[in-house]
Structure 1
Amino acid sequence: MVERKLATVLFVDLVDSTSLVAGADPEVARRRVTQFFDRVSHCVTTHGGIVEKFAGDAVLAAFGVPQAHEDDAERAVRAALAMLESVRELGLEARVGVESGEVVVDESDSTFATGEAVTLAARLQQAAGAGEVLIGPYAYRLTSDRLQAEDVGPLDVKGFGERIWTWRVRAVLDGAPRRSGVAAPLVGREAELELLQNTYERAVRNRRAHLFTIYGDPGVGKSRLAREFVEGLEGATVLAGRSLPYGESVTYWPLAEMVKSAAGITDDDPLEVAVEKLRESCENEAIADLLGLASGVLEAVKGERSQQEIAWAAREWVERMAHDQPLVLVFEDIHWAEEALLDLIEHLAEWVRDAPLLIVGLARAELLDIRPGWGGGRVRATAIELEPLGREESEELIDALAANGALEGEAREALLEKTEGNPLFVEETVRMLAECEGRPLSDFAERIPDTLQALIAARIDRLPPEEKTVLQRASVIGRTFWGGAIKELAAEIDELQPVLETLLLREFLLPELRSSISGETAYRFKHVLIREVAYSGLSKSARADLHERFARWLHARAGEELLEIRAYHLDQAAALITELDGGPPPELARQAAAALETAGRRSLAREANRSGRKQLLRALELEPTLERRFQAARAAWRLGDLPAVSREMERVRADAADEGDRWCQARALAALAEVALNRDADVDEANRLAALALDVADGNDYEPRFDALHVLNTGAWWRGRLTDSERYARDQLALAQEAGREDLESRAAIDLAGVHNARTEYDLAAPLFARALELADQSGSIVARGHALASAGDFAIYREDYDEAQRQLEEARALYEEAGVASSLGRVLYRLGVVAWHQGDLDGAERLSRESIRTLAPLEDRGTLCEAQRRLAEVLLEKGKLDEAERYAEAALETVGPQDMSSRASTRSTLARVRIAQGRFDDAEKLLREAEDIIDQTEYCAFGSDTLRTLAQLLRDRGREDEAEAVERRLEGATADSSAARIA
């Protein structure tokens, strides 16, 4: 059997062996070399290694093959130092190289393991001096706290592209403290448990939702603390779900586990049975259907479904569940959760009313890397971090785990020293000692593992072959697996149940109380790291085969209900075979691509755009088709990634034309028209492409026709041709109504309202903005609601209602973040910066403007980027940062498109204000006159007031009163309310 192992490799060679042989009696020379081999072999075997090969005067040895030990690297270094001393007694000198790393071994093959560590150990031996031990970076990391070593620095090693850092070992230290790794069970957590219980009682007493997050390193005891808490509850409903580490496509997996558990649904229930159970449980058809979509009970329905709707349904469901008795929701491993799930959890914590609800989130600290503000700003939110145990608590844990006080004296002291309060270290080590079958406990206690991975690998390697096989096969499935799946993947094991029961007794596995597949007993790895270590021992070829076989089993048992997970396993199989052989078999590629495409479409239907794009790109890579290429490009379009849209849609356009696919061709043309407008600022090219899209699209193909009209509308607006813009907006509105698409109708209402707004026809604009929001909510599209809120926020700025503007724009921001629409997010960040500026929050305005620029710059969205740049310049100018203000004002002028009339004027006005601050009055006046001329060429009424006001003040300051008064008369005669220019 081929396995992958973390091993330590040792190479030793005689120094100057030629002089030993030269002139010597052959028998004497042979005897001396044999003595050298014997001494070296003895040192290797006494330290637990094996001699793999004799080659000339060199010896190759390995530690961790065939069985791993937690301290293999240290054993190898000790053996190296011992053999140097031993061969000196023969009057000989040797040199040694040692390195650790992943190797591949084949029990059926007499040849030794292969891997980078083998090659590097040989090179280190060649570089070592007489009587020296050189070790590589991996071995040093595993042993650095146990060594007296000299940093040799980087070494040029043949066959390695980069120089390798090396160390010269002087001695191995005894008694030095070891690094602690990861942690485990519940001892010494009384204070944390009491806080959790008090928080629950507060939630019950006040009938309000409370978010309680437990942070900690892997194995520190987060799940154990939560389990202890829920086991002590009476009269409460407890539902739990976990995020999967590979679950980009299973956005709502924890919610699904909770919903199905509450409704008694199994994943292989017939659709009608599942729906009936769900509706009976929810007592509301609308809530049931939305939760069914989120949890996978129902497949994605026709049309785009909204995360906003799912959040509403989840809130209603939770409030109903908690109406009669308290509800506790336990979300495990939320550091692996997608943004949409994190948003949902926070939504429940914020908006659930009149319901005793405690939400417990278990997470590693990495959650704060992706969500720094998690739980922040909420009165009803608590977070704790589990720390390592103290000495007394660790001893209490040892006493609880070690039978009959077996660990005493030096063995206990060694264990306490090495574990340093990490509970899982204590637990796993004590259990390992209990399995040593009569061997001296002190031998094991002195060798407490440096890392949890090494410890678990050692335990796994000591298992009987059948038990080890089951663990490794199960690891392919994931943290949770089913007995039937293992029977399929480990068919060579005749009696599977006794093996599983033994693994349960040994506490490698735990029974899963609920199985998502009826008729299948579910099991769970006690800790995810046990699963990861078991998986790492499988060869890549074995992994590929097992992933594919499990996908087939899953399809047979659960059909399409667990499609996303099946797609993941097929993808893993294809990726592994590609790595090994350069490409997957055609049938595997076809199956994986089809599953990934369907999973990607489901993700897009839920507006999980980032996940959908990843899945569709992978499907396209495995088996390219025009449809997949278009769908992947469409996902990029949704995300606002204009460079990717340009590149990919151009290919779609060409392929569609070759294949005569007008459906794809029309959509590609509409997308490219938007790129020409927003990235290239080329209105003429955008109009040309939009016209082509209208020509190519069939009469009943509404979406590309609408998108093309939107581009024509925007281009006309940029040029200040509001009459044309209004005509296109009304065409959009009619088309959307004909199509029966509320999301498109909402967008058309926004465009038409924008025209009225630019004309200062606020009485006409206001009802259209309100109607746009109403239509967006009816459509169920999270992006449509975001657009409507963002536009309403703009309108609130015009009305100087900055609190309302901030509220609407912040909600739009959250929706755009959920959907991953980066371009729209960049625009709303810019608008929030405008609000902050008007509220006098210059620091906030600067921060938001910079964030907007960072978001928009990679997308090459020139239309908004220039406005964000010039807004930042205005803020910096007000803060007295003149040099930086000049830089951003000039950048804005360079960014703006030649036909973007409003931004051409606004960027000139901003740079003019910078020039005034610099005392360059002639330059400022020239820029302001240019801005004035640009506005005069347009039909804008709501823009230009700030420009005229600045020009009038400049003229008056320069003593040109008559000219200043003329400008002021023009300003007074303008139809725009002066406050309307506040956003310009």
Structure 2
Amino acid sequence: MKRPTFALMPDTSPSTAARGQRRLITMLFVDLSGSTGLAEWMEAEHYAELLAQLSALYEQVVPRHGGAVARIQGDGVLAIFGYPEVREDDGRRATEAALELHTLVRGLRPAGPLPEHFKGLTLHSGIHAGVVFVGEGDAVRGRYELIGNAPNIAARLAENARADEILVSQETLGLQSHYFETSARRQLHLRGRATPIGVYLVKGRSPLSRRFEASERRGLTPLQGRAAELSVLDQALSRAFAGATFWVAVRAGAGLGKTRLCEEFLLRVSDHACQVHRGHCESYLVAEPLQPWLQMLRGLEHYVGGPPELALALQAPPEERAERLLALFLALAAETAQLLFIDDLQWADDASLRLLHQLRDHAARRRLPVLLLTASRPALPGSYVLPTTSGADQLIELPPLPEPAAAVTVSRLLPQADPFVAAEVQRHAGGNPLFLEELCHAAAEATVAGERLGQAQPSAAWLATLIESRVERLPPEQADLVRIAAVIGTVVPTWLLTALTGIGERDAGVQALAEQDFLFPDREPGALRFKHGITRDVVYDSTGLHLRQQLHRRIAAQLRARGAETDNLHELLAYHDAAANEWPLAAQHAEAAGDQALASSALDRAKRQFRAALAALEFLPDTPERRRRWVNIAQRLGMACVFDASRDDLRVLRHAAELAQGLGDTGLIARTDYWLAYVGYALGEVRESLRYAQAAVSSAEACQDGALLAQLPGTVGQIHAAAAHYPEALAQFERAIQRQRERADKSRNRVGLAYSLCCKAYVLGDQGDFDGAHAAFAEALDAVADPGHAVQASIQGWRSAVLLWQGRWAEAREAAEISHRVGTQVRSMFTCAMGHAASAYAAWMLERAPEAPQQILDAIAWLAPRGGGLFSSFNHAWLAEICVEQGDMRCARHHIACALARARQQDWVGGAMAYRAAAKLAVMAGDKARARRCLDLAARAGARRGSGHEAAVTDWVRADLGLATAGQPTLEAAVQQLKRLGMTGFLSARAPALSGSAR
């Protein structure tokens, strides 16, 4: 394979003081505890002797664990692990080195007289990993100069450690924490760091030797997507039971679940008359020869009645162990079937591999029932790895999890995660179970912190080290190719890769990277894709900054030369120009990409691009023109936010309003206030939204902005409707619809017309005019022909709500499912979630679907991080009704309270239903007086909205429960009213547990 034409070289930018590299390094800071006091009472000669002893220990112990001493300063040391070679267990090596140093220092005795209070020497240490710039050192800076924030964090951890304590950041140790006894993870606030960091206090070494054992302690999720592989293993076991020796080798990259598959199989084997032995290999320096076989032997030490070969093997000197072990396992196989499992065979020593082959050959010749099962990683080209699968009778190449299995895994690890986060996790993990686990963990932490996954990508250094160590072991040409591809992106057009490197899709190096699970052909021809998005991110982050910028500039130049032939040209140029610090170009292309995404209803992409444009503008000179442009882009961001608003969006628009006020432009002020009103409305902030809308009307009239004045009645009507001010809302809708019909020749006006008609329809439906409502819905759907437009999700969502009010459950579920589907396609979380909840409630009313309550809870959870509350009283009222019917009084009370809390914020659509649920709870408790009061409140809540259907249902529930008093409708009259309104579905969906319960 020829070397890429743009080979990666160490960063030699003029701005860099010395040559060096950007590397992922694990840093160990060690200091002597109480050193100031020691220096005060010790003689200078004795203290110098102590420092010399410490220095000698540091120089001996750190290299023994694979590290390098970067700097010894006084009584402390900074040691680094992962330079010049990154190893996936660098975090473990640093921790092992710290433990040994602490032990040795406790054994030191200072020379000279000691004070009475002296309790012995101790160290305190901190360990952290991160990407740093490693440069050449000198006499002052030490052997290496480390530039970056990660060394500061490691130093702060050492500062916070008490005497004889070792603090390790969670992201450094990660899953390798099972090798140690640690405290529970705790959050630590470090000086100079805004957010707390998760840390472990390391107490000593753990008896656990495998990550799988630690996973078992935490609890395993059910195995997914490996039925075919388990079937192959079952067949192999059957062959062994029939008297044939058989070797099955499971091979896959790190994290794909080799050990989990084998352990799941071994659990099934426990039901058979078969003796199982387990062993594993380690890459760490303490691994002994014949390690997995000796582990199996030690597991047999207490085996009573074993063959004489057992005692011989236990007592054998090292040079005879292999021969004795072979005789032992052949003797055991002569008695009963044997299954031997060796994990991580890629790290086996020569003697272990030789014994494996000998056992297979001898047992096969004697036709003994032996099943050999091994798990290993594929060998990286150019690295010295023994052929761990040659000679196996069957090789199982473990692929990434298929999408359905990955989706189930994510749903178990991230219950109630919204579908957009779940999809992002799946896309980024590429079917790797280990990556799925880490990304789900990161997503959960981001949710707790009030962030989205995209804002808080996983920063686990242990995982980055695992990935980077694989890249480091590639031949240089392939490693360069991977890094160039990572700068291009997760999807790599082959023409662009060829333009940068001279290497084509069919090149042997590209094919080798596919075999090594890095790059593989995309579904679309002419492109490669990183199999795991997280791999791409790690490789990108570990590539030098200046080199990345050079590559980004070259990529942008190639894209511009390609021009219109490139899909998503503006989006790609916005990304590469920003990464190259070409801010004017980045802002231009991000703005254009946002406009394109908005036109195609790709709302998440539109928001992302508009935000990127705003970020790029911050690097340009602060001029009135730049501020005006900032405000204009923020207004278009508001347009993209309508269907998926968040508190962050509101903050951006408030800043835009401040800029508009500073510019003194009445037109800009009017339109910014308009979008503040709209986004606030989408978040359920009715009062504040109405204030902004009224301010927008005044400003629009002052500057005679006819287009905005045409839009404003619809927005004002929507806000009044959300607050249940229906007369005002309908008057505004009529004005808006008339103006929008006159301007319906433009796409934007048709969308505005459709939404105004939709809002008018749900108001009419709430008032009981179902015929008028459905006529308005039909016109709204006709106004926007595109079935995938975001407004279609809103129309179908409200149509579903009106059908639910009418008791037409099957039609309501169908409309809600359309709303959910379209909302998902355009990534509008509000319509996606509300459609999901409405569909679930319809399914409950139609067939008492058992999954309905959880689906509504999921919808609530999806919306919670965005801070939106618009019409969320619906969800809580539906859940309250279901919980009452299920007899779950505590759950019912909670959701009644949530629905009524929303009512206090002007969200009244679920208020009457919540009060009816409270009345039913009172009936169940035998408190008729309270039930009547709740029904009176339900009637008032419905009357507040002028809701004809709420009045009909409340009268029917009152009569059905036997709570009607003189002058109130009888049961027969209430039933007739439901029939007149076409609401007969309520009669067939009545809850049998409550019907007549108060009589």
- Smaller-chain TM-score bracket: 0.5 to 0.7
* Residue 727 of structure 1, CA deviation: 3.9
Contact 1:953 1:964 in 2 (8 A): no
Matched residues in 2 for 1:54 and 1:683: separation? 62
Partner of 2:821: 814
User: Does the CA-based 8 Å contact 1:670-1:708 persist in structure 2?
Assistant: no
Corresponding position of 1:475: 486
Kindly indicate whether the alpha-carbon contact (under 8 Å) linking 2:766 and 2:802 is maintained by their aligned counterparts in 1: no
Letter in 2 for 1:878: E
Q: Secondary structure at the match of 1:428?
A: coil
CA drift of 1:957 comes to: 5.2
Determine which of 617, 633, 638 is the counterpart of 1:628: 633
Aligned with 2:718 (options 711, 714, 723): 711
1:897 and 1:124 mapped to 2: Cα distance?
48
C-alpha distance in structure 1 between counterparts of 2:838 and 2:159, whole Å: 64
Is the contact between residue 95 and residue 127 of structure 2 (CA under 8 Å) also seen in structure 1?
no
Q: What is the TM-score normalised by the length of structure 1?
A: 0.58
Correspondences of 1:765-780 after superposition (within 5 Å)? 765-776=773-784, 778-780=785-787
Aligned equivalents of 2:91 and 2:608: distance in 1?
Answer: 39
2:294 matched to which residue of 1? none
Residue type matched to 1:427 in 2?
Answer: A
Partner of 1:945: 952
Larger deviation: 621-630 or 675-684?
675-684
Change (3 A) 1:649 1:44: closer
Q: Which amino acid counterpart does residue 714 of structure 1 have in structure 2?
A: A
1:680 lines up with 2:683 in the alignment = no
Give, in whole Å, the separation in 2 of the partners of 1:141 and 1:722: 56
Structure 1: gaps (5+ residues): 183-187, 196-214, 223-389, 436-449, 575-587
C-alpha deviations, 1:778-816, integer Å up to 9, x for none?
A: 245522322343344345446644222212221222222
2:613 alignment partner AA = A
Asked if the contact 2:342–2:373 (Cα under 8 Å) also holds between the matched residues in 1, the reply is no
CA distance in 2, matches of 1:19, 1:933: 81
Matched, 1:841 2:848: yes
CA deviation after TM superposition for structure 1 residue 152, in Å? 12
Match of 2:379 in 1: 427
Distance 2:227 2:943 in 1: 74
Asked whether the 8 Å contact 1:798–1:980 carries over to 2, the reply is: no
The partner residue of 1:864 within 852, 859, 871 is 871
CA RMSD of aligned residues (A): 6.1
Tell me which of 129, 132, 135 is aligned to 1:101.
129
Mapped to 1, the partners of 2:798 and 2:156 lie a distance apart of 66
Identity of aligned residues (%): 20
1:615 aligns with 2:609: yes
CA distance in 1, matches of 2:75, 2:729: 89
1:594-634 alpha-carbon deviations (Å, 9 max, x no partner): 22222222222232222322332232233161111112222
Secondary structure of the residue aligned to 2:202 is: strand
Which residue of structure 2 lines up, in the alignment, with residue 979 of structure 1? Answer: 983
TM-superposed deviation, 1:720: 5.0
Give the corresponding residue for 1:963: 967
Tell me how far apart the structure 2 counterparts of residues 157 and 855 of structure 1 sit (CA, whole Å). 30
Structure 1: distance between partners of 2:844 and 2:760 = 27
**Correspondent of 2:596 among 594, 597, 602:** 602
Could you tell which deviates more after superposition, 628-637 or 549-558?
549-558
- Offset from partner CA, 1:321-357 (integer Å, 9 cap, x none): xxxxxxxxxxxxxxxxxxxxxxxxxxxxxxxxxxxxx
Partner of 2:790: 783
Offset at 1:220? 3.7
Tell me the residue number matched to 1:746: 754
Q: State whether residues 955 and 969 of structure 2, in contact with CA within 8 Å, keep that contact through their aligned partners in structure 1.
A: no
Render the CA deviation track for 1:437-476: whole Å, top value 9, x for unaligned.
xxxxxxxxxxxxx988657645655778777656544432
In 2 relative to 1, CA 926–721 (structure 1 residues): closer, same or farther, beyond 3 Å? farther
- Tell me the residue number matched to 2:83: 65
Secondary structure of the residue aligned to 1:607 is: coil
Q: Partner letter of residue 629 of structure 1?
A: A
SS of 1:593 mapped into structure 2: helix
What is the Cα deviation at residue 773 of structure 1?
3.1
**1:343 match:** none
Say if 1:634 and 1:645, in contact at 8 Å, map to a contact too. no
Counterpart of 2:574 in structure 1 is 567
Q: Distance in 2 between matches of 1:459 and 1:523?
A: 19
Aligned length: 737
Query: In structure 1, what is the equivalent of residue 272 of structure 2?
Result: none
- Counterpart-to-counterpart distance in 2, 1:822 and 1:753: 22
Tell me, in whole angstroms, the C-alpha distance in 2 between the residues paired with 1:515 and 1:840.
41
Assess if the C-alpha contact under 8 Å between 2:693 and 2:716 holds in 1: no
The one-letter code sitting in structure 2 at the alignment partner of 1:787 is: S
2:22 counterpart residue number: 4
Superposed CA deviations along residues 481-500 of structure 1, whole A, max 9, x for unmatched, are 5798679989xxxx999xx9
Write the distance in 2 (CA, Å) between the matches of 1:156 and 1:692: 51
Note if contact 2:797-2:819 (Cα within 8 Å) is conserved in structure 1. yes
* 1:101 alignment partner, SS class: strand
The 2-side partners of 1:940 and 1:32 are apart by 86
State the distance in 2 between where 1:690 and 1:478 align. Answer: 42
Matched, 1:639 2:644: yes
In structure 1, the residue matched to 2:457 is: none
Q: Show CA shifts across 1:472-530 (max 9, x none).
A: 4443223565798679989xxxx999xx9778779779998799999xxx877797777
Cα distance change of structure 1 residues 617 and 949 upon mapping to structure 2, 3 Å threshold: same
Question: Aligned partners of 1:935, 1:166: CA distance in 2, in Å?
Answer: 58
Name the amino acid aligned to 1:555: R
Distance in 2, matches of 1:852 and 1:524, equals 33
Q: Secondary structure at the match of 2:686?
A: coil
Opposite residue 352 of structure 2, the aligned amino acid is E
Deviations 1:233-266 (A, max 9, x none): xxxxxxxxxxxxxxxxxxxxxxxxxxxxxxxxxx
Q: Which amino acid aligns with 2:82?
A: G
Note if contact 2:714-2:736 (Cα within 8 Å) is conserved in structure 1. no
Gap runs ≥5 in structure 2 = 1-18, 112-119, 216-224, 233-250, 259-338, 359-371, 388-460, 618-626, 990-999
- Following the alignment from structure 2 to structure 1, what is the Cα–Cα distance between the partners of residues 97 and 187? 23
Confirm or deny: 8 A CA contact 1:638 1:821 kept in the other structure.
yes
After the TM superposition, which residues 843-922 of structure 1 pair with which residues of structure 2 at under 5 Å, given as runs? Answer: 843=850, 846-847=853-854, 849-851=856-858, 853-854=860-861, 864-882=871-889, 884-886=891-893, 888-889=895-896, 891-896=898-903, 911-915=918-922, 921=928
Is 2:352 aligned against 1:410? yes
Partner of 1:243: none
Equivalent of 1:167 in 182, 202, 209: 202
The equivalences for 1:785-800 within 5 A come to 785-794=792-801, 796-797=803-804, 800=807
Give the secondary structure class of the aligned counterpart of 1:621.
Answer: helix
1:660 aligns with 2:602: no
State how far apart, in whole Å, the 1-side matches of 2:717 and 2:575 are: 37
